[in-house]
A and B are shown apart, each in its own frame.
Chain A
Amino acid sequence: MSDPKQKKTIKTIKIDVDKCHGCRACEMICSAFHAEPKYSSNNPARARIRVIRDPLRDVYVPVYAGEYTVAECAGRDKYTIEGKEYDECSFCRASCPSREDFKEPDSGLPLKCDMCEGEEEPLCVKWCTVDALVVEEREEEVEEQEEQEDLEVGLESLADKYGMDKILDAVARLSKKN
């Protein structure tokens, strides 16, 4: 067995909510980058970043899609920061049943930010010319862990929704057809 601890470059996106103008270019470019084929379509509802935005109360919070979760929080708290009230969800990255964010609009499958793998920097950062989003890299020792594939996350959420039996039936039926 090799040492489970490995050096890994961790990318952190630093979010400065005070600099955000609310243009949502981050959402737009994210949805375009993740389209198939790449850049062939635009639809912020597919974005893995959302600007939680309430201009009249001066609330601008860019949030990234994180882990899929099957259950919503029991109680959702409110924070007051510098006189402005925020839902707890405004800072939460979960793809969760309580909101429509971070799910494919047609299938309902969960979305997760992948830092635009293959690009020199996440495109939301590149398109945020006011520097509300800035990327920072640091090295950290982390335990090696298998990343869950998109497919697996999707299947898991489908299983949560419909039950594993139905999923297996459907897969069996589809493979017969093909």
Chain B
Amino acid sequence: MRYAETGFNLEIDLTRGNIERVATDPRDTELYLGGLGTNAKILWDRVPPDIDAFSPENLLIFGTGLLCGTTATGCNRTIVTTISPQTKLMAFSMMGGYWAPELKYAGYDKVILRGKSPDLVYLWINNDKVEIRDASHLQGKGAIETAELIKKELKQPKAQVSAIGLAGENRVYYATVEQGRSSASRGGIGAVMGDKGVKAIAVRGTQDINVARPAEFMALCYEVLDYIKWREDNPIPGVIPILAILGSPQEMAIHDEKWHTENFSWGNARLRRKGFWTEEVSDEWLETMTKARTRLISCYNCPVACGAAISMPGLPTYMMKCFTKLTYTMAAMSNLEFGLTIAQRATEYGVDGYSTPQVMAFALELLENGILTDKDFPGMPQDNEGRFFYLLDKIVNREGVGDILANGTHWAAEEIGNGADAYAHNNIKKHEQLPLKLSMLNPIYFLMYSTGEKINITQIEGQFPQAAFPKREHREKFVTDWFQVPDDRFKQYFLDWEPRGENSNPYYPTPEMACDIVDWQERMHYIDDALGMCAGLSSFHLKPPYHIHNIPKFLSAGAGFDMDEDKLSLAAKRYRTLVRAINIRRGLRRKDEKPPEDHWKKRFPELEKELLDTYYKFKGWNNEGIPTKDSLHELGLDFVSEDLIQRGILAAGEDTLSEEASAISDRQQN
């Protein structure tokens, strides 16, 4: 019997209309766990680098986390993997909600789509019965509207539906897949789904998911649940509200937005507005939120309600997630009411809440600076908010200048020319970032921004405080119950980290320490993404309920194979390296690994070079960021090095780690 997983994937060839239920190899589960890990293995094996996002040979994989569908709290994530039309790299955006457990209960770990359907279709997975159904009547419908219509026509109110809106159908490079109160937003996954002619995947499942050692597994679940309750009553002192409690983050429940509105930049990631959060603004936004929010809502089997149902006057209800609450507001330099109103339309269209507002603000900057002209925006309203609605419609319909903007700021700037690239200033690897513009370089964040392959800071940061605490006594207090650290040396790094003076940014933490910290942070995210854990109860947070010490036990008791901290870290490193190898094969190199130029005012080119050099060595990568033959061998990935050598990306005899670097890496991993 297979535990935690079903042992079956659903393979659907859309070109031929062929559906197969395929047994998976349990050895792959031990090596790559599940979710992101096994998704990456499939993508490496089956999508060579000459296949682009909109090629029929590209795969679109909806993978469930290994522990989804078990009693493990907050373990409900779907990891969607494909090639991104925007970055041309591997995209692996994720969503919470209810879809992954439902797919497990239907008897499948993944749905793997290949080919292209000649007509718009949707998939209906009802336990063993799987159908490809006509979706021509759903063409142009909103993502939420589509889910409702499908549940109605199937007479299946309990079905869970992942759907695209018009943006996905029109292959907008930052189109999303929407589901429940969540979405897989980053990397243009919705565009690939639209390109494949799939409007939605509806799932209903009524079968069992088994766990290997039930009593042991339940004891672990109770430990986590009790800790969640304890953390709720004991927020971490001295940090901003969203970091003090659990959740991802609890944007809908917490009203105080001083930190976001004054530290993040407005417009096209340009303007810091110190002193913005006045009592007047606070009162106005509280009123807007209170009127709009009908209920705080959770994902499957999670007590933390990070989402909210939002009903704006005269508009259909939608479900808001995380920071989309503020991105439209801030890009348009407007208020919360505008943000919540336009987010309704954006959610139905199915577009990414980070990229979309930024692309619109970018377009208006180009207009202000004469690079685009009024002729490019025929019929655009005069008022600020009206212009954003206008642009959203143009982009999603790919009309006029909207057709260019629909490819994101990087590609739009390239096509527009005339100096437009200076305005596409907030990208990493061609992908729009959160609008953070800060003063002093932080070595930990430098590495995370540069090398993160999810290309989204919230999907790599966490565990370690974002900044030094002012007083040593606060730091000492913080480390007293910090049992989540993999090793006590992390406590020391933090204790010695000062806001000013010798032990402060950018030279402290030292490059070696920064590597160690970033590696831990990234590892926890990769583990979450294989298991389907929400980062809001795990990797994103300080002192989370799930950590390196209890997750191996969950795997042993749940999935039934021997797991310990070292083995888990090795598995995470294995598929993390595989993600890198996929991207290396697609052309990713050192030159691409950098934060936006203006992310910090104070930059230190020599230090940054040292940081990246040290980190690459730490990771077992050569100076170009390519995993070395030796390090691939240690991970059992010889098939990767063979491929990279054959392609001339790695030379057969080179790239063993220097002894010095090995020593650092040994010291820090032991």
Contacts and interface: CB of A to CB of B under 8 A. Distances in A.
A129 B224 CA distance: 13
A47 B621 CA distance: 50
Contact of B225 (A38, A40, A58, A129): A129
A105 B158 CA distance: 14
Contacts of B215: 38-39
A153 interface: no
Interface stretch (B20-28, B165-173, B297-305, B360-368): B297-305
Contacts of B208: 35, 41-43, 46
A111 B215 CA distance: 24
B174 to A, nearest CB: 25
A42 B211 contact: yes
Contacts of A66: none
A134 interface: no
Contacts of B305: 21, 23, 130
Interface in A57-112: 57-58, 60, 105
Interface string B213-225: 0110110000001
Interface in B192-246: 205-211, 214-215, 217-218, 225, 228-229
Interface centre among A23, A41, A44 (most CB of B within 10 A): A23
Contacts of A124: none
A32 B71 contact: yes
A28 B301 contact: yes
A69 B471 CA distance: 67
Contacts, number: 93
Contact of B301 (A25, A35, A56): A25
B335 to A, nearest CB: 25
A4 interface: no
Given A37-B214, A55-B309, A129-B228, A42 B303 contact: no
B38 interface: no
B262 interface: no
A21 B301 CA distance: 10
Interface in B143-176: 144, 148, 157
A42 B309 contact: no
A113 B218 CA distance: 21
Q: Which interface class (under 10, 10 to 19, 20 to 34, 35 or more) fits B?
A: 35 or more
A43 B209 contact: yes
Contact of A105 (B73, B207, B296): B207
Nearest to A29: B71
Contacts of A22: 297-298
A3 B669 CA distance: 74
B309 A58 contact: yes
Contacts of B317: 55-58
B214 A39 contact: yes
A56 B214 CA distance: 36
Nearest to A22: B297
A42 B297 CA distance: 22
B460 interface: no
A37 B296 CA distance: 35
Nearest to B303: A129
B319 A23 contact: no
Contacts of B70: 42
B587 interface: no
B69 interface: yes
Interface residues of A, number: 29
A135 interface: no
B387 interface: no
Contacts of B69: 42
A13 interface: no
A54 interface: yes
Contact of A43 (B207, B214, B295, B303): B207
A40 B215 CA distance: 8
A24 interface: yes
Given A39-B71, A42-B70, A129-B229, A21 B207 contact: no
B580 interface: no
Interface in B413-465: none
Nearest to A45: B206
A32 B105 CA distance: 13
B294 interface: yes
Nearest to A37: B214
A42 to B, nearest CB: 5
A40 B214 contact: yes
B296 A23 contact: no
B439 to A, nearest CB: 39
Contacts of B214: 32, 35, 37-40
A39 B301 contact: no
Given A56-B144, A56-B309, A56-B316, A42 B71 contact: yes
B105 A44 contact: yes
Given A55-B297, A56-B144, A25 B73 contact: yes
Interface of B: 69-71, 73, 98, 105, 144, 148, 157, 180-181, 205-211, 214-215, 217-218, 225, 228-229, 294-303, 305, 309, 316-319
Given A23-B300, A42-B70, 15 more contacts: A23-B301, A23-B305, A24-B301, A28-B300, A35-B208, A42-B209, A43-B105, A45-B105, A56-B144, A56-B317, A56-B318, A58-B295, A105-B207, A129-B229, A130-B305
Q: Which 6 A-B pairs have the closest CB atoms?
A: A45-B206, A39-B214, A23-B298, A105-B206, A41-B208, A21-B298
8 contacts: A21-B305, A23-B301, A25-B301, A38-B214, A40-B210, A58-B317, A129-B228, A129-B303
